[in-house]
């Protein structure tokens, strides 16, 4: 195939650094794997049974593009109760990654700027590039807190979107309400679209989660079942926001994903009513264990939610430190996958207690 056949947008996108780590893991023998960004438990049986029933009942054709009415109505009722925005509409997306793509393709024109907080979820800058936009990074090191003045200073006449994530991947940071309120009000004042990625919303350990939609009724909120219910491969998310934006996203979904997987949407009805409180408590215990075991030897900030820690490498670059860890059969991810800096490494504590203990032992052993 001729190289000139490949579009410029693809040349502007690198292969995922996480995918490279996964490829490396496939060559390792029984690695201590603290790299996986998904729950370590299987999808609950009640949800799997609901999926099977949907398939057996013939729910296998296309659904409406915006999603099946029973699930949409449940989500809409919850959104209305929480926010009370008369113009806020919900629809079902093909995962949160699909929703991120739809939102950026809907909002961003070539040349527009999108503000992203560094460190960031690996997909953000690449989706911005696909939409023809330019990523503008706001440094949040060393404590991963949001400085709204930095955001205000970065705004130009080309700024179109602010992309916000809480609890955050890869840092586990959960901004305080005052930070979120200030950001929401700044976006409203400057008439800049605010996208809030809330896929880890259920996993908050130290203080209550708050959405910027509480203070900015134009916020586009993205959420889903992947992390909270261990349904990463099922591709089921939802979006809510101002109707004029949502209608355009639904139109785009019609010509891309068509709809979220139909039988999975019926399983989503069971997932919506499933109690995940025990799993959240379990991950808080795992977070507490990792902070207690590593806190004296490593500099750790954030880690208030999700199931990640972005830890400062105690020597060398993060890539050099991760190479040493891999030599000791520990699989972690260098921070430059998620950042313009190569100073930190990410661990996921969505793993068994035995695996976490093994990982701690390796990290203590390579500290110096």
263 and 286 fall within a common domain: no
Tell me 234's DSSP state: G
Q: What pLDDT, on a 0 to 100 scale, did the predictor assign at position 343?
A: 98
Task: Show the CA angle centred on residue 264, arms to residues 258 and 270, nearest 5°.
Answer: 140
Residue 218 lies in a domain: yes
Spatial separation of the C-alpha atoms in residues 344 and 171, rounded to whole Å: 10
User: Which CATH number does the domain housing residue 192 bear?
Assistant: 3.40.640.10
Residue 303 · residue 309 · CB < 8 Å: yes
SS3 300: strand
pTM of the model: 0.95
Q: Of 249, 272, 295, which marks where a domain is finished?
A: 272
Q: What pLDDT, on a 0 to 100 scale, did the predictor assign at position 134?
A: 96
Report how far Cα 322 is from the mean position of its chain's Cα atoms.
23
98 and 32 fall within a common domain: no
141 and 166 fall within a common domain: yes
- Does pLDDT of 365 surpass 90? yes
306 and 206 fall within a common domain: no
136 and 11 fall within a common domain: no
261 and 324 fall within a common domain: no
Condensed to tens digits (0 to 9), the pLDDT of residues 178-222 reads 999 999 999 999 999 999 999 999 999 999 999 999 999 999 999
75 and 118 fall within a common domain: yes
Q: Of 245, 272, 299, which marks where a domain is finished?
A: 272
- Range 322-337 average pLDDT: 94
Tally the domains of the chain: 2
Condensed to tens digits (0 to 9), the pLDDT of residues 102-116 reads 999 999 999 999 999
Spatial separation of the C-alpha atoms in residues 346 and 354, rounded to whole Å: 19
Q: Of 254, 272, 290, which marks where a domain is finished?
A: 272
Pairing of strands 32-33, 330-331: parallel
Domain that holds residue 345: 3-43+276-365
72 and 213 fall within a common domain: yes
Condensed to tens digits (0 to 9), the pLDDT of residues 309-327 reads 999 999 999 999 999 999 9
> Average pLDDT of the chain?
95
């Amino acid at each position: 195939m001729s190289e000139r056949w490949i579009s410029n947008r693809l040349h502007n996108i690198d292969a995922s650094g996480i995918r490279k780590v996964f490829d490396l893991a496939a060559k390792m023998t029984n690695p201590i794997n603290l790299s996986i960004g998904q729950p370590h438990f299987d999808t609950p049986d009640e949800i799997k049974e609901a999926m099977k029933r949907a398939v057996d009942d013939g729910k296998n054709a296309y659904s409406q593009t915006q999603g099946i009415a029973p699930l949409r109505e449940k989500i809409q009722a919850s959104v209305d109760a929480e926010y009370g925005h008369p113009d806020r509409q919900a629809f079902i997306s093909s995962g949160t990654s699909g929703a991120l793509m739809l939102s950026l393709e809907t909002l961003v024109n070539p040349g527009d700027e999108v503000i992203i907080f560094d460190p960031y979820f690996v997909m953000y800058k690449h989706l911005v590039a696909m939409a023809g936009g330019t990523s503008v990074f706001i440094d949040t090191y060393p404590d991963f807190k949001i400085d709204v003045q930095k955001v205000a200073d970065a705004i130009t006449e080309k700024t179109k979107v602010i992309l916000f994530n809480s609890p955050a991947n890869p840092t586990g940071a959960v901004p305080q309400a005052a930070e979120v309120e200030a950001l929401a009000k700044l976006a409203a004042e400057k008439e800049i679209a605010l996208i809030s990625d809330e896929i880890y919303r259920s996993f908050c350990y130290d203080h209550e989660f708050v959405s910027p939609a509480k203070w900015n009724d134009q916020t586009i909120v993205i959420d889903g079942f992947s992390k909270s219910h261990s349904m990463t491969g099922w591709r089921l998310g939802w979006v809510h926001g101002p109707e004029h934006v949502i209608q355009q996203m639904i139109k785009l979904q019609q010509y891309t994903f068509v709809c979220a997987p139909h039988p999975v949407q019926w399983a989503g009805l069971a997932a919506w009513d499933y109690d995940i409180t025990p799993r959240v408590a379990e991950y808080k215990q795992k977070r507490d264990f990792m902070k207690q075991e590593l806190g004296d030897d490593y500099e750790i900030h954030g880690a208030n939610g999700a199931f990640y820690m972005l830890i400062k490498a105690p020597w060398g670059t993060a890539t050099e430190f991760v190479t040493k860890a891999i030599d000791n059969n520990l699989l972690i991810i260098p921070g430059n996958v998620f950042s313009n800096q190569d100073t930190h490494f990410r661990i996921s504590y969505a793993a068994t207690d035995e695996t976490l203990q093994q990982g701690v032992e390796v990290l203590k052993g390579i500290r110096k």
